[in-house]
Amino acid sequence: MTDLLKIESFKLRKKLRAWLGPILIFLLIMISFPLTVELASDELKNVFYSILWLSSLLTVMVSLDSIFLEDFDDGTLEHYLILNNSLFSMILIKIFIYWLLIGIPISILGTFFSISTSGDFSSFYIAFPSMLISSYIFINLFALGNSLSLNKGSALGALITMPLLFPVLILLGKIVLNANFGFEISNLLLLMLGVLLIIIVIIPFIISFVVKTHLE
Amino acid sequence: MLSNPLLEARNLSFSINQNKLFHGLSFELLYGEALHIKGGNGSGKTTLLKILLGITSPRKGHIKWVDNTNTVYLGHKNVLKDYLSVEDNLYLHGINSAKTSTKSILKELNLLNKIDVLVGNLSYGQKKKLALVRVLLNQSEVIVLDEPCVGLDDKTRAYIVDFLNAELSKNKSVIYTSHIPIEINSKKINIDKE
């Protein structure tokens, strides 16, 4: 497992455009958004989180464009299946590495922008945990979509994933709404964490079956 | 244990959309034996290899390997990353390029001076050779090769044949498909439709 972790992180780290490119896209959206609208500071705060969630969604979508395609094309998936009889661990680790190299950096950047926009450090407690958890959920869901549309184009993968993303986006909206009204948000964060814990195990399991079918 | 077959395949059948690739195929493979799967283009040689490796399921029939058999496979795909160097690609397969045994094989295959070159910049034949390094350094009991000699020069082909003969003499087994004759003593099955 440790070897797999090292190998998968090595592969992604060496492919700068796969992780640094999406982070730069995220940064670009977050910087350019306030410049392109004429909103008073208070109004900006109201729409800021919507932009934050949507840009993290887009960043994840772009970064996961070829999460399995390259390994499928060069025979890595086939090779791993022969060696281990299962793709589960590889997919679990692959998704985790994407979160580590893309999900965490955009969560940190998003939190930074959240604090700077609101001018209030307490927004850290809204933005950081919700970004961390939601990015991991987004990565899992887009990975599932891409596995289903492996070799058939990433647009189809995004289309398949969209309906699954809506509940997460609604939950994120609720978190911001509750925080604005001064209500407790920890219960909603725990709910989202619970969803993540289920997804972390189930999605790689489903993906491993889907990818095996493609290999057949 | 050595007298028992390493692999037993019984009544294997496979078809794609009503098109029967092979039907009722039975054979066995013993330790130290080579099996040459013959057939024309599109006859299902690669599919049969995938069935034997457990990637694809046969429509009918069954396969029995001796428990915990280690297999190394080199198919049409080279399992190489174009954006990584030769050294990095070897690392991905757990091969230390600084080891004497690795260096010796790389030198033999004229790849030692390419160690820092991106795989994307290598020729087809050089990529094939690099993919073979993984097979040459592997300690698996069974070597499965799909057209191993395609794209290789005569010297490398001879090297591969010598390697396979040496592995067979160590009681390892080889399953391969090849349109190019390979001089190893092997059992043959022809899966061409009659």
The domain limits of chain A are 2-215
CB A22 within 8 A of CB A105: no
pLDDT at B2 over 60: no
Q: Which pLDDT score is estimated for A18?
A: 86
Distance from C-alpha of A69 to C-alpha of A77, rounded to nearest angstrom: 9
Contacts of B124 in chain A (CB under 8 A): none
pLDDT at A65: 83
Q: What is the pLDDT of residue A15?
A: 87
Mutate to test the interface with A, among B73, B87, B132 (most CBs of A within 10 A): B73
Rounded distance between C-alpha atoms, residue A68 and residue A66, angstroms: 5
B81 part of contact set with chain A, CB < 8 Å:
yes
Percent of the residues in chain B that have a pLDDT greater than 90, as a whole number:
15
Q: Three-state SS for A30?
A: helix
- B55–A82 CB contact, under 8 Å: yes
Instruction: Name the band, by pLDDT with cuts 50, 70 and 90, for residue B80.
Output: very high
Token pair listed for B194: 């009659």
> Using one digit for the tens of pLDDT, what is the confidence trace for B120-169?
999 988 898 899 888 888 888 899 999 888 888 888 888 888 888 888 89
Alpha-carbon distance of A37 to A50, in angstroms, equals: 14
Domains of chain B, earliest start first: 7-70+139-190 (3.40.50.300), 86-128 (no CATH)
CA distance B116 to A21: 25
Whether B171 and B132 have beta carbons less than 8 Å apart is answered as no
| Model confidence pLDDT, tens digit, residues A175-209 | 888 888 888 888 899 999 999 999 999 999 999 99
With beta carbons under 8 A apart, name residues in chain B contacting A74.
77-82
% of residues, chain B, pLDDT over 70 = 97
Binary contact (B79, A11; C-beta < 8 A): no
pLDDT in tens, A26-49: 999 999 887 877 766 667 777 888
Q: Name the amino acid, one letter, at B191.
A: I
Strand B19-29, strand B7-16: pairing: antiparallel
Q: Does B92 touch chain A (CB under 8 A)?
A: yes
pLDDT at residue A39 in the model: 65
Cβ of A216 within 8 Å of Cβ of B83? The answer is no
Residue of B32, B67, B54, B77 lying closest to B175 (CA atoms): B32
In whole angstroms, give the CA distance from residue B12 to residue B69.
20
Structural contact between residues A87 and A100, judged by C-beta atoms closer than 8 angstroms: no
Of the pLDDT bands very low, low, confident and very high (cuts 50, 70, 90), residue B95 is: confident
* More reliable by pLDDT, B172 or B3: B172
Q: Kindly report the length of chain A.
A: 216
Taking any CB pair shorter than 8 Å as contact, residues of chain A touching chain B are: 3, 7, 10-11, 14-15, 70, 73-76, 78-79, 81-82, 85, 212, 215-216
Range A103-122 average pLDDT: 90
Cα A191 to Cα A208: distance, rounded to the nearest angstrom: 26
Between the CA of residue B77 and those of A70, A175, B46, what are the distances in Å?
A: 12, 47, 12
Q: What is the pLDDT of residue A3?
A: 84
B3 pLDDT band (50/70/90 cuts)? low
Backbone angles phi, psi at A181, to 5 degrees: -85, 0
Average pLDDT for residues B10-23, to the nearest whole number? 84
Q: Tell me, what's the pLDDT at A45?
A: 73
Tokens matching residue A111 = 């939190």
Mean pLDDT in residue range B39-65: 88
Where are any strands of DSSP class E within chain B? Answer: 7-16, 19-29, 34-38, 60-65, 71-74, 142-146, 173-177, 187-190
The pLDDT tens digits for A143-161 are 999 898 887 776 777 788 8
Distances (CA, A) of A17 to A22, A24, A65, B120: 8, 10, 11, 16
